[in-house]
Structure 1
Amino acid sequence: MELKKLMRERRSVHQFENKPVPVELVTELLDTAVWVPNHRMTQPWRFVIIQGEGRHKLAEIVRKFREANEPDPQKAKEIGQKLYDKFMSVPMFIAVILKVNDNAAIAEEDYAAAACLIQNFSLLAWEQGIGMVWETYPLLKLEAFREAFGVQPDERIIGSLHTGYPGKIPAGQARVSASERLTVMA
């Protein structure tokens, strides 16, 4: 597919088919996605894939967290189950884990490079008929989530990429053209 068309047609997917995504294909896409601008070539990322039965652990963490933070016990169980089911409907989770650099300038550059990597992966996956959404929910900071993904003390999860074959593709949303927000100084 032509890159311009691919960029305009890619969507964040929230509903997936109940069909596994081959780990080998995801690995191949990630191997290509890492070719991003990375000032100082720190390459601070690593990835953890959770799929199949491994998803139960994540879904349980979400359920327990939600139930513990809802005062109404009946509502807590309903919301907890809804979130559990939502997590179980995602075929694959890919955690993008970043080594945290103590130098603020390098840490910012590293995050920017990792964001580019996620965008590359998103486009490469879309080209293969695979959808995803980059999630940054606060739960990623929970110790239980960090433990589930094997995150070390000097690392952070910058995104959970919910990945699978699209069950529903959302309509595109209009964008403000760059020309409307462009200033040229000569």
Structure 2
Amino acid sequence: MISPLQVNQLIRLRRSTFPDQFEKDRPIDEDIIWQLLENASWAPNHKATEPWHFTVFTGEGLKKFAAFQAGRYQQTAGEKFRQDKYNKLLTNPLKASHIIAIILRRSKTADIPEIEEIAAVSCAVENIYLSATAYGLGGYWSTGGPTYDPAAGGFFGLEEGDKLMGFFYLGHVRVPSVAGSRKPVKEKTTWVTT
């Protein structure tokens, strides 16, 4: 049994770790990626719709992902095009071991408000975050690149009603993130006792 102290510690150790902090050319074992995805699938979800879908990019797939997102940026940026942003979109994915596209796949049978399924997918992503932390891995959830690009649906296999909710970058940690802090929870809590 996991102690409350271990759970508290795991939650507080969770950090976003970015591609420049990853060890280059050190892939994560595929069995661990499968375990992270299995843990994600145990997230709470209304009416057991399990509204998440994951597309995993690794190896040559990272190059395909990078070329797609950089190309879409180049096609759509117009006058706002910046070479440094284009270069980052093209190179950052290659620093990761794996990138997981996070997809909300809406239930076709259950009458559930979309926000509840968005919340369920977000819980699944938190399970990935915590699992990566437990394995000593780094990662972060990005909503950049083609996340909100309507034309990206075909590349990621989106079906009608699906939403691309971003990408989870994963890698072995070379440079740890600094310790986090939070405002006191008492400042953000109201108790009603009578």
Q: What's the TM-score bracket when you normalise by the shorter of the two chains?
A: 0.7 to 0.9
Please state how far the C-alpha of 1:127 moved relative to its aligned partner. 0.6
Q: How much does 1:25 deviate?
A: 1.4
- In 2, the alpha carbon distance for the partners of 1:34 and 1:44 equals 9
Distance 1:179 1:64 in 2: 47
Q: Which residues in structure 2 correspond to 1:1-186 (within 5 Å)?
A: 2-14=6-18, 15-18=21-24, 19-68=26-75, 69=77, 71=79, 76-101=82-107, 105-137=112-144, 139-143=146-150, 145-186=152-193
Task: Give the Cα–Cα distance (whole angstroms) in 2 for the partners of residues 104 and 142 of structure 1.
Answer: 27
Taking every aligned residue pair, what percent have the same amino acid on both sides?
27
Letter in 2 for 1:92: H
**CA distance in 1 between partners of 2:88 and 2:44 (Å):** 40
Q: What is the distance in 2 between the residues matched to 1:4 and 1:78? A: 39
Deviation at 1:147, TM superposition (A): 2.6
Contact 1:29 1:121 in 2 (8 A): yes
Report the secondary structure of 1:13's partner residue: coil
CA separation of 1:181 and 1:79: change in aligned 2, threshold 3 A: closer
The one-letter code matched in structure 1 to 2:127 is N
Separation in 2, partners of 1:120, 1:176: 23
**C-alpha separation in 1, matches of 2:79 and 2:116:** 41
Query: Which shows bigger deviation, 75-84 or 165-174?
Result: 75-84
* Structure 1: gaps (5+ residues): none
Q: Following superposition, which runs of at least 4 residues in structure 1 exceed 2 angstroms of deviation? A: 61-68, 75-79, 100-106, 141-149
Indicate if the aligned counterparts of 2:15 and 2:180 stay in contact, CA closer than 8 A: no
Unaligned runs of 5+ in 2: none
The structure with the greater share of residues assigned to helix is 1
Q: How many residues align?
A: 184
Deviation for aligned residue 1:82? 3.2
Deviations 1:116-154 (A, max 9, x none): 111111111111111110112262132553333222233
